Amino acid sequence: MPKIKAALAAVLVMEKEGITQAFGVPGAAINPLYAQLRERGTIGHILARHVEGASHMAEGYTRAVAGNIGVCIGTSGPAGTDMITGLYSAQADSIPILCITGQAPRARLHKEDFQAVDIASIAKPVTKWATTVLEPAQVPQVFQQAFHLMRSGRPGPVLIDLPFDVMQAEIEFDIDTYEPLPAYKPAASRKQIDKALAMLNEAERPLIVAGGGIINADASDLLVQFAEITGIPVIPTLMGWGSIPDNHPLMAGMCGLQTSHRYGNANMLASDFVLGIGNRWANRHTGSTDVYCKGRKFVHVDIEPTQIGRVFAPDLGIVSDAKAALQLFVDAALELRAAGRLRNRQDWAAECQGRKASVDYLRKTNFEQVPMKPQRVYQCMNNAFGEDTTYVSTIGLSQIAGAQFLHVYHPRHWINCGQAGPLGWTVPAALGVRAADPSRRIVALSGDYDFQFMIEELAVGAQFKLPYIHMVVNNSYLGLIRQSQRGFSMDYCVQLGFDNINSPADEVTAQGYGVDHVKVVEGLGCKAIRVHRPDEVAPAIRQAEAWMAEFQVPVVIEVILERVTNIAMGTEIDNVTEFEEVAGGKADVPTAVALLD
């Protein structure tokens, strides 16, 4: 059997597992692995400007295309701790990424050596598995187990920590005999599916809640097929957005306290039965369970056993991969329909569609003010970007309003960090999406603070020719925190504006908006446009697309907003405050009675 360095064995296993792209920052303790990456030349590498950025690029790469696993690589010590945020983000949203860190030699681990930190212990709470490999001969099987775990059950991230001398040691390993381990995915039984369908058939006003697990399982087509067979409207969660097209007659809107539609909340409140598939009943979707659960029964299907009953006890829980469950749901529903035992849901579906089409359930966007209101920006985006657009966003009023006003028509076309929501995620994630798919239209969405957090990663887009459009809505505020501070009667430490001495006096942005994003973006090798008026947005988008085609770099469109706009949100799904008038002319309508008029 041939003898090779353990670092080479790691690279060979990654090749066999389908890895063709990595993101990272080299350093002394991880150089043995980089030496083998360079020697093999089969795995591309994109150099991040910050190691946290590399972890978010890996996330974007995984989230963009079914079957992808993003790989992020860093050296010892702070490289690993910098990637913890990416691991947490991936773990929270069930996203498999492989994080590889260098480590001090084994003999130095207990001597407080330079950059020697127990990264495996630090990473354990935010990974499916985190391990420091202490025996060189274990390297191939540790990597094999990592891929097996990432793909099995609820997907998630793994960290492998490699001491310097472990990577350098020679081991006996024959890659020609290597085979990936088959992933384990629990599957529902037909008995469970028949029981769930019997409960559904008894309901008068049933809904399907479609979670991100459906997109992870690549099961969106089955979801739509099942909904069409049964005629049951679908409420996607934020992570499941795109699993059914926004313009599908059975798409009943999103439900929740923030990233929701008025008609979505109203449809949920009118229902008497909910079939949740691949979702985790996140609190920003449900609000309190007292309101969310009252008057309705629940069936919950999820790949992770411990998710069943975690937030509230369903009437029936089924542990299953979403694709396996939906295939059985489709088969069983077709049999019921053939036997004439499937209830007709036309009236209920029409009722849900009626709310979706009513101006009383739509929020107003056609504001003419300058500086612009954010609602008008999203109207302009909807007019300019087609159904093939992939949106990337993370957190803040920009993301909340984006979810309320934008439209998504395909799975994996809303790339969003759901549970963790780290500021700065958007730029590197968008670059990861572009690396995964060189052809699709990508539009990132940030507020000015999210944009500033990891703005240096734009240089990666310039260096590696990763073009996309980045819409930055700039109100020079921590807008979401400012809005939440209303409950404390304060506006404290959330202002980002200042008089920039380097901005020209005749520039509108010089009037206290602070950072000159256009100059910063251009200094990082990208292109930027600043707009102030609604009629400037469409020409700016056309210019951005021309620049992307010519220069192959990210293009930032900064839209100057009015300083303060409160975006609709509330404390319960029947208590969402509309701070602006809605399309039907009503404002500040927080009650369930009003929603269901």
Neighbours of 317 (CB within 10 A): 19
Check if 423 is active-site.
yes
Give the closest residue to 255 by CA, choosing from 290, 283, 275, 277. 283
Q: How many helices (H) and strands (E) does the chain have?
A: 25, 21
Question: 457 with 427: CB under 8 angstroms?
Answer: yes
Check if 193 is active-site.
no
C-alpha 358 chain-centroid distance: 30
Check if 25 is active-site.
yes
- Annotated catalytic residue, options 142, 158, 162, 423: 423
Neighbours of 541 (CB within 10 A): 22
- Annotated catalytic residue, options 12, 19, 25, 117: 25
- Annotated catalytic residue, options 13, 95, 406, 478: 478
- Annotated catalytic residue, options 122, 175, 481, 518: 481
DSSP-derived secondary structure for 419-456:
SS--TT-HHHHHHHHHHH-SSS-EEEEEEHHHHHHTGG
Burial 150-167 (b: 16+ CB within 10 A, else e): bbbbbbbbbbbbbbbbbb
Output phi, psi for 109, to 5 deg: -65, -30
Tokens 């994003």 map to which residue?
517
Peptide bond into 554 cis (omega under 30): no
Question: 28 with 105: CB under 8 angstroms?
Answer: no
Q: Is 566 exposed, middle or buried (0-12, 13-18, 19+ CB in 10 A)?
A: middle
**Token reading at 158:** 């793994």
The identity of residue 98, as a single letter, is L
What is the C-alpha separation between 78 and 55, in angstroms, rounded?
Answer: 13
C-alpha 428 chain-centroid distance: 12
C-alpha 538 chain-centroid distance: 26
- Annotated catalytic residue, options 8, 51, 119, 149: 51
Catalytic residue IDs: 25, 51, 423, 478, 481
